[in-house]
A and B are shown apart, each in its own frame.
Chain A
Amino acid sequence: MFKALYSRLKQGYRTMPFPPKNDVLSKRFAGLPCVVSEKCKEDCAKCKAVCPTDAISGNGKDISIDLGKCLFCTECQRACPTGTINFSREYRMAVRDRNDLLIRDTLNRYEKTLKKEIKNIFGRSLKLRQVSAGGCNACELDINVLNTLSFDLGRFGIQFVASPRHADGIVVTGPVTKNMFLALEKTYNAVPSPKLVIAVGACAISGGPYIDHTETYNGVSSILPVDLYIPGCPPHPLTILDGFLKIMKAM
């Protein structure tokens, strides 16, 4: 008993503020890519040659990266001879509209104030049910991490519930395998309307590394209407948390 109390003192208070006050991300963290299209050479396709998921399209001023497909492996940044593509350390990447995942040029779209969002969420709550549909368990683990005391998801009024009947929406990870199709559909149908669908990770948005495999569908949007896209492979817990807060503002 005393040992447990002493240990509580020793472990300290570990819940981080959100948005984080200090720079908690690794210096090598690859977040939102920035594209400087004027640097891009028309006749060069080196980035496309190395991109594992064909996330890059267009040339010159039309070049764009599809964050829904991007695995954030940064191979394109390494291959680009002109410095057109640079991965920033911006973790806020979740969007409501699939088209907003196409990154075309240097835009600070994500610099919009988040403080307002935080204010808006007080007094609200969001109950979610998670469905893993072919994911590699990395997205699942980094969603789970939000329940640890470091992130303390409960303080934002968000809770993962055990039954779809108790949920306001589902969080889907994985490309949706053929074998999970029925279970996903049943879970979605069991959630009372109106309901949300949140796609977390490259797999759930586009199929990710498994794009066009016969064993999978290309993400959840081919089956269900998606309300929020959280890109990454896997997305950082802060990216996921930011996305959840975004959708609460929208509700």
Chain B
Amino acid sequence: MAGSILNIRNSQAKPLSEIPSLPFEKFCDFVIAQIREGARVVSFFGTPKTNATFMLTMVLAYDNDGQLGIVSTSVKDTYPSLTPQLPQVHWFEREIFEQWQVRPDGHPWLKPIRFHNPCTENSLGNSSQDILPSVTDFMKVHGQEPHEVAVGPVHAGIIEPGHFRFQCHGEHVFHLEISLGYQHRGIERALAAGSGKRTIHYMETSAGDTTIGHALAYCQAMEGLSDCAVPLRASAIRGIMLELERLANHTGDLGALANDVGYLPTSSYCGRLRGDFLNMTALICGNRFGRNIVRPGGVMFDLDDSLITELQNRLDKIFNDVKNAVSLLWSSSFVVDRFDETGIVTKKTALDLGLVGPAARACGIERDVRFDFPTGIYQFSHIPLSTYSSGDVFARAYVRWLEIQRSTEFIRDQLKNLPDSAVMAAMPPLKKQSMVVSLIEGWRGEICHAITTDINGNISQYKITDPSFHNWIGLAMALRGEDISDFPLCNKSFNLSYCGHDL
């Protein structure tokens, strides 16, 4: 394996020159062999080079070794698709095709994922015809009986826009196709134009419910690129913020799942309790979503003794109420009946498609950045993995409940033993012509930021991979063979991000 791939640790910067560039066929064989041996694709993206060639860079994760690997190849405007052999790159290849018009020949689902003009300059000339969202070929089931149901982009609730097409026979769903891109606002394009004063705000609004997760992935990358040592106290506060974000969202999700099966007690209690966790976040930084606290070098707000006591008291009270509200779910036979065996994703499917986060852990896959690739405070304070094996809505709900308990324990621990140090360190300039891959386990799963710097030490390429990017296809698979009336429940059990995907 040596020579074919550059092995790095999470958020460790390496010079670009050390990244091996393999001839395409060798790249292909190598990657397929690695995946067969247990590696998985974290990110895969294209970068334009001179003479109409593109560099394709793949980031692989070796979960068991705690190592990441970077390998690259060069292609012109077309290459044989990897998807037939590696289903987990299917969405990445479509993204590369949409951004750079590099065609993966033989891709079974080649169509846009975000519906925007290509990023290549020379193609701007022929982009005069407007690209309309969701105007593409959808998979169709033929026959006299099947029918199609289309939902979105504007939904009945207060949620983000996306378009869903169901191929049905009566209530039975043969297939669900998800078409996104409505939230596309050009974050990566703006980031690649250089690091400016808006950068951190792009991070905090990549997915507003994962403000801490994305801001942390960015800051960790910047710190890796500049060899900045973050003070221990800042790392601990970052950990507290990240787990609070997880607590708020998981609690909200359990409430929403209860709502979707018509069990109102847990639904209404959890709605309030989610807000209480957000208010704890606001207690620390003034904002309910954790804006304006995580910055390169550390955190902007410290905790004093009275604040720590207040947080401890609130955490105990809120956790007790969450426990009370959630335990109602497991003791209500009709809730458990509705959750059980609904929206099953098998472990094999999850592995093949490269699912991440609670959705993967609910299929019995032991995959968690905090455990496999720990950085910051997670190097010193371990959070046990929470898994369940059934892969259904119940499993996705139950894994959330396990994580709520473990995150609460973690925050309690951190608040009790907060290290004594400054909370901000000075940031040295970024290393030139280097690359860093920064992973964070957000509440939805693995967030990956892969960043390259140019000859002046400025950001020249920024690739964000939100966990939703891996997981939307998981939702589509969960719906196969289900009743269409179970869609809201299945959807909520994944609760994926539209804006995090669309960027």
Cβ 8 A contact of B205, one of A132, A164, A209: A209
A28 touches B153 (CB 8 A): no
Nearest residue (CB) in B for A213 is: B186
A residues near B301, Cβ cutoff 8 Å: 28
Q: Out of B182, B274, B498, name the residue touching A183 (CB < 8 Å).
A: B182
* Given A145-B275, A149-B268, A162-B156; A175-B208 close (CB under 8 Å): no
Say whether A73 contacts B324, CB under 8 Å.
no
- Of B185, B208, B274, the residue contacting A137 (CB under 8 A) is B208
CB proximity of A179 to chain B, nearest CB, Å: 4
Residues of chain B at the chain A interface (Cβ within 8 Å): 114-116, 132-133, 153-154, 156-161, 181-186, 189-190, 197-198, 200-202, 205-209, 211, 265, 268-269, 271-272, 274-275, 279, 282-289, 291-292, 301, 321, 324-325, 327-328, 331-332, 497-499
Known: A136-B206, A147-B271. 13 other contacts (CB 8 A): A4-B332, A11-B325, A25-B282, A27-B286, A72-B287, A134-B183, A136-B205, A136-B207, A140-B159, A144-B158, A164-B154, A213-B190, A215-B186
Surface stretch bound by B, among A38-46, A47-55, A96-104: A47-55
Residues of B within 8 A of A35 (CB): none
Q: What is the minimal beta-carbon distance from A9 to any residue of chain B, in angstroms?
A: 10
User: Taking CB as reference atom, which chain A residue is nearest B283?
Assistant: A26
CB distance from A218 to the nearest CB of B (A): 12
Asked whether B185 lies within 8 Å of A187 as measured between CB atoms, the reply is no
Determine chain B's interface SS by DSSP, over half rule.
loop
Could you say which residues of chain B place their CB within 8 Å of the CB of A243? Answer: none
Known: A10-B324, A73-B201, A136-B207. A148 touches B275 (CB 8 A): yes
User: Quick one: closest B residue to A186, CB to CB?
Assistant: B154
Residues of A contacting B181 with CB < 8 Å? Answer: 179
The 9 closest A-B pairs by CB, nearest first: A138-B208, A136-B208, A28-B286, A148-B271, A162-B156, A215-B186, A136-B205, A26-B282, A179-B133
With contact pairs A26-B282, A73-B201 given, residues A132 and B268 touching in the complex (Cβ less than 8 Å): no
Interchain residue pairs with CB less than 8 A apart (11): A3-B327, A11-B325, A28-B282, A72-B287, A73-B292, A136-B205, A138-B289, A141-B208, A148-B274, A160-B157, A213-B186
How far does the alpha carbon of A47 sit from the alpha carbon of B373 in the complex, in Å?
39
User: In this assembly, does A199 line the interface, its C-beta being within 8 Å of a C-beta of chain B?
Assistant: no
- Asked if A180 contacts B275 (CB within 8 A), the reply is no
* Interface pair B328/A209, CB less than 8 Å apart: no
What residue of chain B has the Cβ atom nearest to residue A89's Cβ?
B286
Bound complex: CA A134 to CA B184 (Å) = 7
In the bound complex, CA of A149 to CA of B201 (Å)? 31
CB of B186 within 8 A of CB of A210, answer yes
| In the complex, residue of chain B having the shortest beta-carbon distance to the beta carbon of A11 | B269
Known contacts A10-B324, A26-B282; A179/B186 CB under 8 A: no
Q: Which residue of A lies closest to B320 (CB)?
A: A10
* B159 and A132 contacting across the interface, CB-CB below 8 Å: yes
In which size bucket is the chain A interface?
A: 35 or more
Chain B residues with CB under 8 A of A71: 201, 291
Rounded to whole Å, the gap between the CB of B433 and the closest CB of chain A is 27
Query: In whole Å, how far is A110's beta carbon from the nearest beta carbon of chain B?
Result: 19
B181, B201, B206, B207 — most chain A CB neighbours (10 Å): B201
Closest to B152 in A: A183
Are B272 and A14 in contact, CB atoms less than 8 angstroms apart? yes
Residues of B within 8 A of A182 (CB): 132-133
Q: CB < 8 Å: which of B153, B201, B209, B325 contacts A7? A: B325
B197 touches A51 (CB 8 A): yes
Chain A proximity of B310: nearest CB distance (Å): 10
Cβ of B283 to closest chain A Cβ, rounded Å: 5
Given contacts A26-B282, A134-B182, A175-B185, contact A162 B205 (CB under 8 A): no
Chain B residues within 8 Å of A147, by CB: 158, 271
User: With a CB–CB cut-off of 8 A, which chain B residues contact A163?
Assistant: 156
Contacts of B156 in A (CB 8 A): 162-163
How far is the CB of A231 from the nearest CB of chain B, in Å?
A: 14
